[in-house]
Amino acid sequence: MAVQYAKPMIGYLATGILVLALLRFGQAIFIPFAFSLFVIALVAPLQLRLQCWMPKLLALFVTLSSTIFIIVAVGSSVTWGLSRLGQWLFVNARRFQDVYVHWTGWLEEHGIAIAGPLADRFDVTWLVSFTQGLAGRLNSFAGFALLVFVFVMLGLLEIEDFAKRLRSPALQPQGMNMLHANREISKKLRRFMLVRTFASVLTGLIVWAFAYFAGLDLAAAWGAIAFTLNYIPFLGPFVATVLPTLFAMGQFDSWQMALAVFVGLNLIQFLIGSYLEPRLTGASLAISPFAVIFSVFFWSFMWGVPGAFIGVPILIAFIIYCEKSSVAKWIAVLLSARSSENSDKAST
């Protein structure tokens, strides 16, 4: 009996490993494709509403133009912020080098031997090149964005025909289940991104005000970086907190000021990310924090920064599809922060 159940499990495990390997090595195609599905889920209702007032191709043009404008605006904010940071570091490289050598020497005097090797390897010019390289890498996403644009355009053109095919009798009941799941995914992703955008704008404004009143240089740049990176759960706020802290240590040459910046930024991230966002999203998007962390780190391992950004939307879609399946519903219950009774009520 054990052998009888073990064989299917081994088969599922082998299939899953092969699929993950395919997603890993075919990321040049699968990342733009996943992003295009994500964008289609967000903007398809807008196009369908516009089609009630204008021709289909004109509605498609307006939808795509609005989408491109928003993506360019968000991407430009972090690129601008990192570029300003790189320029500032380039001008003040020697000052930062002296500060960090002083602090590593102080750590060595107090018995922290690891500071020596770190000081030998640390070079502020490396930090400058890393920051400028990251900004340049963001600017080089033109090919990626073009492929996503093509996928989104073709998907929006076919979305109505695809829905009709799902309603055909030959695909029932799987077709209607998939159609309902896609609609629910689209609805929850729009709510997720609406709340995330509000929280990101609020985070960027508060970080800018905090940096300005704390006397930290490049306050607007820190606000722009915090705004954009807040779209990446956990990893984004972490980077948006550590970078200004290291910057404050070099600018003020004071561990007390660096600690104040670190505590202040973490308090902002905690109040918005752990208190405000869960109350705005509500119970319909309640997901286990462990599942969110795992999804962000797993997809960042698979696809890098784009994977970290899209990890949570993939998790949301996966949970919804599991909820619609009688076989995999237990997985949705495990990944959700709701109880099984609440999950049953939410799915009805």
Tens of pLDDT along 72-115? Answer: 888 788 778 878 887 777 777 677 666 666 666 666 666 655 44
Query: Between these two residues, 268 and 27, which has the higher pLDDT value?
Result: 268
Q: Token digits for 35?
A: 């992003």
pLDDT of 171 strictly over 90: no
Q: Give the model's pLDDT for residue 222.
A: 92
Whether 3 is in a domain gets the answer no
Q: Give the model's pLDDT for residue 223.
A: 93
Residue 336 has phi, psi (to 5 degrees) of -90, 155
Q: Average pLDDT of 267-276?
A: 86
What sign results for the dihedral spanned by CA atoms 229, 233, 238, 241?
A: positive
Whether 98 is in a domain gets the answer yes
Q: Would you place residue 340 in the very low, low, confident or very high pLDDT band (cuts 50, 70, 90)?
A: very low
Number of domains in the chain: 3
Residue 287 has phi, psi (to 5 degrees) of -125, 145
pLDDT above 90 covers a percentage of the chain that reads 14
Residue 234 has phi, psi (to 5 degrees) of 65, -60
Residue 223 burial class via C-beta count within 10 angstroms: exposed 0-12, middle 13-18, buried 19 and up: buried
Q: Give the model's pLDDT for residue 224.
A: 92
Q: Average pLDDT of 249-264?
A: 83
Q: Give the model's pLDDT for residue 7.
A: 55
Nearest to 323 by CA among 185, 195, 191, 190: 185
Query: Between these two residues, 15 and 260, which has the higher pLDDT value?
Result: 260
203, 187 contact by CB (below 8 A) = no
Q: Average pLDDT of 22-32?
A: 85
Give CA–CA dist 266/283, Å, rounded: 25
Verify that 163 and 31 share a domain, yes or no: yes
Read off the pLDDT of residues 128-155 as tens digits, 9 standing for 90 and up.
555 655 555 555 566 677 888 888 888 8
Verify that 44 and 134 share a domain, yes or no: yes
Q: Find which of 1-5, 122-126, 206-210, 276-280 is predicted with most confidence, using mean pLDDT.
A: 206-210
Q: Give the model's pLDDT for residue 204.
A: 93
Cα→Cα distances 205→73, 193, 237, Å: 16, 18, 14
Verify that 70 and 158 share a domain, yes or no: yes
Question: C-alpha 4: how far from its chain's center?
Answer: 41
Q: Give the model's pLDDT for residue 346.
A: 47
Cα→Cα distances 306→27, 28, 35, 296, 320, Å: 10, 11, 9, 10, 22
Give CA–CA dist 50/47, Å, rounded: 5
Residue type for position 89: L
Q: Token digits for 49?
A: 């509403």
Verify that 194 and 128 share a domain, yes or no: no
What sign results for the dihedral spanned by CA atoms 126, 129, 133, 134?
A: positive
Give CA–CA dist 334/272, Å, rounded: 26
Q: Which region among 34-43, 121-130, 210-219, 247-256 has the lowest average model confidence (pLDDT)?
A: 121-130
Q: Would you place residue 198 in the very low, low, confident or very high pLDDT band (cuts 50, 70, 90)?
A: very high
Q: Give the model's pLDDT for residue 108.
A: 64
pLDDT of 293 strictly over 50: yes
What is the extent of the structural domain holding 300?
A: 283-348
Question: Which of 167, 202, 223 is the last residue in one of the domains?
Answer: 167
Verify that 60 and 161 share a domain, yes or no: yes
pLDDT of 5 strictly over 50: no
Q: Give the model's pLDDT for residue 347.
A: 47
Cα→Cα distances 88→82, 93, 127, 221, Å: 10, 8, 11, 11
Q: Give the model's pLDDT for residue 132.
A: 56
Read off the pLDDT of residues 230-240 as tens digits, 9 standing for 90 and up.
888 887 888 88
Residue type for position 102: H
Q: Would you place residue 268 in the very low, low, confident or very high pLDDT band (cuts 50, 70, 90)?
A: very high
pLDDT of 345 strictly over 80: no
Question: Which of 167, 200, 228 is the last residue in one of the domains?
Answer: 167
Whether 31 is in a domain gets the answer yes
Question: Which residues fall within 8 angstroms of residue 141, CB to CB, at 6 or more apart?
Answer: 75
Verify that 296 and 233 share a domain, yes or no: no
Q: Give the model's pLDDT for residue 296.
A: 87
Question: Which of 107, 132, 167 is the last residue in one of the domains?
Answer: 167
Give CA–CA dist 76/51, Å, rounded: 30
